[in-house]
Chains A and B, each alone.
Chain A
Amino acid sequence: MSRAYRIKVRETLRRVIRAADHVSSQLELLEVLPKEQMSEILAEELQRRGFQVDGKTARREQEGVTVTVDLESGEVQVGAESSEQVNVSGQAEGYGYDDGPDGKAVLRQQLRQQLAEDTQVKEDDLQKEVTDRLEQQLADICLELDQAVNRTTAEALKRKAAQIGQIKQLSDDPESGALTIVVEV
């Protein structure tokens, strides 16, 4: 006749959970000047806005969101990531039988599975937080990039006008985005 015995197990799961998200797009820059010059003006404009320019890439990290611009291709990537050390502990109690499978091992396995599920929930929450953070900042980043493109185009137009002839009059309204250039050829 088998005998029952009480089992108690305790487990701790330590893991680093990571979450990341990003969106990509293309800046639409008119080629008023040759590509290299447009890239140069864009780099200057982005630097004014706090971007670090490193060769062909401009990058800025702000409030946990990183914006990376490829100055040659105009590709933009906006991303956010986060990681966290989680410690999840738990204990379980049950019964085993001396003529049955190893009750402790079975219970430990079940507990580990539960802890893994709990960790997954935390990872999903972290992912949601990262995605929400990215989404909240997208509007402002989108606006800022639009402004950077407009300023880049305006500067390119000024340089182009100076190449064509003598600029007689130039009025630039950054608020409305209107730019008027009168050139004597």
Chain B
Amino acid sequence: MREVSRFEANLLEILRSFLGEVPRVRALTLMTRPLTRPKCLGRDAVQLVQEVLAKGVVRQLARGGWRKERFLRDGKPVAGRLWRRSPPDELALEFSRNTLDFLIWATAQNVADKNAVWRPLPEVPLTLGDRYLLFRAYATLRFTPIHQHWQTSPVFAGHGLCGLSFPEDLHEQSIDHWDFGDWTGPEGAFILESMQRELAARWLDLERSKGQIVVAQQMRALGRGQRRVLDAFLVATEKANRRDLARFLLTVALELLPDSGYGTGWVASLDVRELRMVERTETQRAAFTLLDALRRLEQWQQRAQGIGYLDEEYASAQLYKADWEDHSGNALCNQARTILARWNPLQQADCSSAEENV
């Protein structure tokens, strides 16, 4: 039987909550009650951390990856569940000393204290596994006092998974460098594959929540965050020839657009009458950030249509075209164009219909 100290038991509880195995309220209590940091962890504790990580991360990935879907492998579509599309060794995540250090820090400190800042160990680069756990920690602790500090922490600035999942957290940050290259590359792309439905649900919630935003500044801030992260993400997916990873955006558009009419749902609660026209259009543009992003996806489709059988990217282009058709991409883009034109003051066919303007 393995024995752990109180500190180590708390650490394991915190780790489990990050991986969604115990309610976060327990971790929250433990993370705000500082304990004396031990000189080192016991062997049993380290083994248990390894086990919890191994099983917990696999469970997380399996939650999104169990469906039989098609994604690219070496430029060719491969169908099946996540663990069938790639051999096990290509799905392995490595965790460095940073993970243990982070967990020890989270257990020892009152993490809600604004002066409590965790930084990676010097000369120990963060691995994908480390960053995945950091993302899970961030996601677990949103809407808590801890989250307020983490929003501006350098550890999470430029973290692609955090940005893509929670773009509304980014609007005040000016981030020059994102790590999307790692999440869309051969070593990390499977994580984005497993997160497609999670990302689609998140963005669906975000888009639907826009209908309740009253303050124009809040809408502009949200749009800014979305635009920043989408620009970086789409550039990275294109560079990596992994346009299939942007599939969740088509899923969101398919859910939202068909019944959207003229798009008034996005701006239903906004009052822009007292704003200058330039602020009105910026606010409305922010509301329709996702529709704007569809233009890039449409350009990908147009490019895919021009790729011939003998061209290098033929197989990946075929997969993208199939995704596009499955999601009725052309109809979605036409609808998006109609909505964007409707809200552009210089493109409205009947510019005198002021009663429909918010």
Contacts and interface: CB of A to CB of B under 8 A. Distances in A.
Interface of A: 21-25, 76, 78, 127, 131, 134-135, 138-139, 141-143, 145
Contact of A142 (B277, B278, B281, B351): B351
15 contacts: A22-B277, A22-B278, A23-B345, A24-B281, A25-B345, A25-B347, A127-B276, A131-B277, A134-B277, A135-B277, A138-B277, A138-B345, A142-B345, A142-B348, A143-B351
Contacts of B277: 21-23, 131, 134-135, 138
A76 B281 CA distance: 14
A21 B351 contact: no
Given A23-B281, A24-B281, A138 B346 contact: yes
Contact of A78 (B346, B348, B352): B346
A24 B347 CA distance: 10
A184 B348 CA distance: 38
B302 interface: no
B346 A139 contact: no
B330 interface: no
A145 B277 CA distance: 19
Interface of B: 276-278, 281, 344-348, 351-352
Nearest to B348: A142
Given A25-B346, A78-B346, A138 B351 contact: yes
A141 B352 CA distance: 12
* Listed residue (B278, B281, B344) with the most chain A CB atoms within 10 angstroms of its CB: B278
A80 to B, nearest CB: 9
A139 B352 contact: yes
Contacts of B347: 25, 142
Given A76-B346, A127-B276, A139 B281 contact: no
Nearest to B353: A139
Contacts of B346: 23-25, 76, 78, 138, 141-142, 145
A21 B352 contact: no
A23 B278 contact: yes
A25 B352 CA distance: 18
B351 A131 contact: no
Contacts of A78: 346
B307 to A, nearest CB: 21
Contacts of A131: 276-277
Contacts of A145: 346
* Listed residue (B276, B344, B346) with the most chain A CB atoms within 10 angstroms of its CB: B346
B292 to A, nearest CB: 12
Contacts of B344: 25
A21 B281 CA distance: 11
Contacts of A76: 346
A139 B348 CA distance: 8
B345 A21 contact: no
B285 to A, nearest CB: 10
B202 to A, nearest CB: 31
A141 B345 CA distance: 10
Contacts of A25: 344-347
Contacts of B352: 139
Nearest to A78: B346
A76 B346 CA distance: 9
A152 B322 CA distance: 37
Contacts of A135: 277, 345
Contacts of A138: 277, 345-346, 351
Given A24-B281, A142-B351, 13 more contacts: A21-B277, A23-B277, A23-B278, A23-B345, A24-B346, A25-B344, A25-B345, A25-B347, A76-B346, A131-B277, A138-B351, A139-B351, A142-B348
